Amino acid sequence: MHNWIIESIQDQIPRARWHRSQTQDIAIPGAASEPQPDLAVYERGAVEGPGRLIPAPVVTLVVEVVSKASVDRVHRTKRLMYAEGTIPAYLIVDPVEGVCVLLTEPSDATPSGLPDYRTERTSRFGDPVPVGVLELTLDTEDFQTYS
């Protein structure tokens, strides 16, 4: 199911404009680790040639699909990491709860003092998910919850 969701999202993002890289390491300045999202989306021509690391500033969207074992890491740890890297949009697809959570507007000026996203939009599976940074709306009709 995890791979089917990623494949569906990847197929909906126009290849002519965007690289849609699975399991691509992201270099976040100052971070202790290099996260590897399920899908990283960045404009064609933003980097020269393939490499192990893509700099966070060129990434437009990262996508993570939650597994039963990764709920906390995806919803909390990676949220802070991607916000710290000022990645404009982070889409969490959660087959445990049957929702998509789109986080936008990364900021380091939060009340907690930790980096985070200012805007959070939650949609149920089956509802369209507008992704403004890519100028498209994702169809989630085929997304399924874990049994």
Summarize pLDDT for 107-144 with one digit per residue, the tens: 987 778 889 999 999 999 999 999 999 999 999 999 99
Only one residue has tokens 């993002």, namely 13
60 pLDDT more than 90: yes
All domains of the chain in start order, with CATH: 2-138 (3.90.1570.10)
Model confidence band, residue 87 (pLDDT cutoffs 50, 70, 90): very high
- For residue 78, CA distances in Å to 38, 63, 126, 135 come to 12, 10, 25, 24
Model confidence band, residue 32 (pLDDT cutoffs 50, 70, 90): confident
50 pLDDT more than 70: no
Hey, CA dihedral for 9, 25, 84, 87, is it positive or negative? negative
